[in-house]
Amino acid sequence: MASEEAPMARPTVPEADRLIGVKHTVLSHGFVVLVDYMGNDAAIVQAARVSYGAGTRTLRDDRGLIRYLMRHRHTTPFEMVELKFLMRLPIYVARQIIRHRMVSINEYSARYSVIPDEFELPAPGAVRQQSRRNRQGGGEPVSPAVEEAFRGDLERVCREAYEAYTRALAEGVARETARAILPVAYYTEWYWKVDLHNLLHFLSLRLDPHAQEETRLYAAELARIARTVAPVAFEAFEEFTLSGLSLSRREQSAVRALLTGATPEAACEEAGLPLQRPDGQRMSSGEGVEFLEKLERLRAPS
């Protein structure tokens, strides 16, 4: 029982303590700041051993226990670690991140305060075509002429909108109404508190190459901070989640066919993983294509 243990002390990470209050710049005007944290790798182990009991302490070292928890998706102990961030980010990025509901958020209120004249203009080379495979994402860069026109239009629209915004405020329009005229390229700010389990789930999605680049940049800063707070847990996350591969029942059937000498295409056909459309054209997405991509990942040097 807890009463029989040594007196509790708040676990700290000196490297993480040095990060508190430090601004990590993202994009043109954005940043990520670690405001505070609670717990570390030791807190994960402490929570897990409440379930296992003191008698198991010699059976597995702390690193091995954390890796076991991650590997077998025992998520509750990771919820014992919490991190609180201050983030400044474009509204269109914030609206992606807000979809991750298992966090506590308090956002800058444009009803009470005037929005600063800061908007995100994509860097040269960052304007992309609509992806042919990913209906919600970008693909190859647009031509220099298209990019120049878009960046010019965006800058003009933002500047004209902010002039209209400040003019409306000067004429007595309420801030809560005047803000409606500003584009989503303008910045917002919030406190964002999350437990480690849900942060790692967020990172598994937003570090993915299919995520929007601007959001990936914020995820990368959050990842660096999380790695500092709980390095052993983050190492396990990188190995078993970010670098891990899952295989569906059909994909396992395809692997068995590969082991008996079938070609990848034949293995897909045998397992019911389609690679061709009804008109005979090669598919550019779908379960079969994704399985072949997994095989390419396995072939690539680590």
Catalytic residues: 206
Q: 214, 120 in Cβ contact below 8 A? A: yes
| Tokens linked to 23 | 């601004």
* Phi, psi angles (nearest 5°) of residue 200: -65, -35
* Phi, psi angles (nearest 5°) of residue 193: -115, 135
b or e along 162-199 (b: 16 or more beta carbons within 10 Å of the residue's beta carbon)?
A: beebeebbeeeeebeebbeebbebbbbbbbbbbbbbbb
Q: How many residues does the chain have?
A: 302
Q: Which amino acid is at 266?
A: A
Sign, CA torsion 16/20/22/26:
positive
Sign, CA torsion 22/213/202/103:
positive
Q: 225, 108 in Cβ contact below 8 A? A: no
Q: Which amino acid is at 29?
A: H
b or e along 113-151 (b: 16 or more beta carbons within 10 Å of the residue's beta carbon)?
A: eebeeebbbbeeeebbeeeeeeeeebeeebeeeebeeeb
